Amino acid sequence: MTYTAPVAEQRFLLKHIVKMDELSGHNVFADATADTVDAIVEGIAAFSEGEFAPLNRVGDTVGAKWSPDGVTMPPNFREAYQAYVRDGWGTLTGPTEYGGQGLPFTLATIVMEDLGSANMGFSLCMMLTPGAVEALKHHGSEELKRMWLPKLISGEWTGTMNLTEPQAGSDVGALKTRAEPRGDDSYLIKGQKIFITYGEHDLADNIVHLVLARLPDAPAGTKGISLFLVPKFRLNGDGTPGAFNDARCVSIEHKLGIHASPTCVMSYGDEDDCVGWLIGEENGGMRAMFTMMNNARLNVGLQGVSIAERATQAAVAYANDRVQGAREGKPAAILKHADVRRMLLRMKALTQAARALTYYAAGQTDRGSIGDADAKARADLLTPLVKAYGTDVGVEVASLGVQIHGGMGFIEETGAAQHYRDARIAPIYEGTNGIQAADLVGRKLGLEGGAVVERLLNEIEEDAGESRWLVDLVSACRAVIEEMGDMDMDERLVASYPFLTMLSVAVSGWLMALQYDVAEEEEGDPAFLTMKKAAADYYLNQVVPEAIGLTAAAMAPARVYDVPDEAFAA
């Protein structure tokens, strides 16, 4: 169950898909020199392989443990986390004025990919804190930034996102947590939240919760929600953690996977005063929270890539080692058999395509952050694709990994089952993939009156060259968009998921075609370039035609509302 970071693949994408040299040419990212980028790629590879990967199994088998005194993480997790802080991995994208390095988000994407492949459950702790930093950076007061950002950026303190309540899951507007003004600049927070990732742990000295709550007399629904910073410990005058703030974990969930990640039920102000501070404007919580959530959605899509990479590596190793049957009269490893090779090539192609999509979106996010309005709009369009398609790929590839292991894949000791179990949460949290599809057709297709998606489709079409399946898929996407114009909202929502897959595959196929062309011309490791072309060819000639086949599902009437509610129980 070893892990080797895909360094060659990452470098290839940075050069040819992200075009990191263009980013580093901008004065904002001038520190992202070739030497710095190389040091980060090599350094996080060594760190994730050496510090996080060896803890993946114990994280799954031992897991996080709750007691009335708090949550205890598995053995050696605190030491590994402190090494992460010591080496400065959390500081990459933080603003320089508060101790960050101000580097591109794309480089943090590489860090999170490797950590997630090495140990997905553990990496969730590192995934959420940067989102809290972004929310504070964009919406917090100068005083809040000064008090809280330096330790969050360094990782000495961790951050969480508190949206969900028992009666308010995807319907955030139904939340009931209250915030009462105290007469100064603080508020008393009272309520309960569920599904709070790393809401409690023993890795760091403080935990900074970003909590959605309602002020007195706030409007109903999402328009009456505000965002508050609620620490586990209040701060002393010197900025060190002081009095306990009655933000307590009352239980953790028993889950299918990611056992190393404590999923907490949090109680605020149940036994004593719990104090919070407003982030942004009153009743402006959703705007501030979406700053954090959009960051998290890209990183969750990346988790699909991470687990797909780990599952693929395990499957390749097993296929090379497992002797079963014969070929040309001699005992053969199962790698020699056609169906196993088909599955392995599919795993490779899907993983590379989802990674390319995610890295490309990260690069567009970086360009948007330095003033490129077209890139920002494209990143907004791509975010639901990355989250949904990346996580769907993670589940499919992990499932194929179990299949390649055969009966041994159903046995926990091989580790293949853990990858499948861990992957299954990713299409659910940070907005289910159905919500991502609804966001795509309900909001993102309408960006600039449809011009954002049209520019993207035009670019794909121009670069498609001789890839007839890709050209046909672009045409199919356009046909669905046009058909949606005549649909009512219920019909569009039914069509949204197959269409999201179609558009995701079109963008991913475009990026794979570009990589094939580069691999044809570039000199380098023959094995890497051979697989790059093989994976791209498989994707363009197998996966892209499958996506075209979804056209009927996206355009034909599904009539899901013609079925009476009681018939579903028949």
**Domain range list for the chain:** 288-555
Q: Residue ranges of the chain with pLDDT lower than 70?
A: 1, 169
At 234 the pLDDT is 98
How is residue 505 written in tokens?
A: 């595959």
Closest to 151 (Cα-Cα) out of 99, 112, 186: 99
Q: CA dist 119 to 277, 351, 487, Å?
A: 33, 17, 44
Task: Check if the beta carbon of residue 495 is closer than 8 Å to that of residue 554.
Answer: yes
What is the value of pTM for the model shown? 0.97
Looking from the CA of 153 toward its CB, the CA atoms found within 13 Å total 23
At 286 the pLDDT is 87
Can you name the residues that pair with 266 across neighbouring β-strands?
Answer: 193, 249
The contacts of residue 412 (CB under 8 Å, 6+ apart) are: 418
Q: Which residues are catalytic?
A: 430
Q: In 194-277, which ranges are continuous DSSP H helix?
A: none
How do residues 410-468 score in pLDDT, each as one tens digit?
999 999 999 999 999 999 999 999 999 999 999 999 999 999 999 999 999 999 988 89
Residue with tokens 């097993």: 318
At 295 the pLDDT is 82
Task: Check if the beta carbon of residue 205 is closer than 8 Å to that of residue 157.
Answer: yes
Q: CA dist 310 to 412, 422, 473, Å?
A: 15, 11, 30
At 290 the pLDDT is 83
Specify the CATH number of the domain 288-555: 1.20.140.10
Give me the sign of the Cα torsion angle 180, 182, 187, 193. Answer: negative
Task: Check if the beta carbon of residue 123 is closer than 8 Å to that of residue 112.
Answer: yes
- Cα gap 35→24, rounded to integer Å: 11
Q: CA dist 51 to 38, 113, 197, 289, Å?
A: 20, 15, 21, 32
At 108 the pLDDT is 97
Task: Check if the beta carbon of residue 237 is closer than 8 Å to that of residue 252.
Answer: no
Can you name the residues that pair with 189 across neighbouring β-strands?
Answer: 179
At 1 the pLDDT is 62
At 466 the pLDDT is 83
- Cα gap 366→235, rounded to integer Å: 34
